[in-house]
Amino acid sequence: MKGASREESFWRTRSEARTPKTRMTRAYLGLGSNQGDRVALLNAALERLEASGRVRVTKRSSLYETAPVGLTEQPRFVNLAAEVETDLDPLDLLELVLAAERDLGRVRTKRWGPRTVDIDILMYDDVQVDTPVLAIPHPEMTRRRFVLEPLLEVAPDAALPDGRRLASFLPEVRDQDVQKVSSA
């Protein structure tokens, strides 16, 4: 739309065009690392997000060791999911997440390649976003056990904006290599 703001052009929600900045919104993040001290990097990523003063981690899952997806000739990942509260809108949250990844040494060289840390916005309240830089809900999460298991640990009743429960997708991915390695 000519003359439309970024939000007017790209936001779709069931109830409102944009989450007001004054309201804390619940979002879910998926984090993974397969380089260096994987657990320390995941902890540092959550600490950086909280240090911004704009994100508060309210729950975090256990750690899961997982096989890489896409580019399989690389080290195994450690993954977790986190429930957060934020006053940032999804695009601003994406900017904060990308900054945390860069601060922790993430360099994007090849798709699905090794990474010090990867932080995905899985869900943001009941908001749906479809832009060239961000898609919420995360378009691959229902096909990835390493996302579903930790996410369902922190949000057992989580559902997509269309009402489908995430737990209903888990039987389809049970054959994927995911092992719980520590409790939350």
Catalytic residue among 120, 125, 126, 145: 120
Catalytic residue among 48, 60, 89, 118: 118
Q: Which two tokens stand for residue 161?
A: 């904006």
Residues 6+ apart with CB under 8 A from 7: 17, 18, 89
Q: Are 86 and 53 in contact (CB under 8 A)?
A: no
State yes or no: is 120 an active-site residue. yes
Catalytic residue among 38, 115, 144, 145: 115
What is the spatial distance between Cα 17 and Cα 10, in angstroms, rounded to a whole number? 9
What is the spatial distance between Cα 72 and Cα 77, in angstroms, rounded to a whole number? 11
Catalytic residue among 48, 60, 106, 144: 106
State yes or no: is 115 an active-site residue. yes
> Could you give the residue numbers annotated as active site?
106, 115, 118, 120
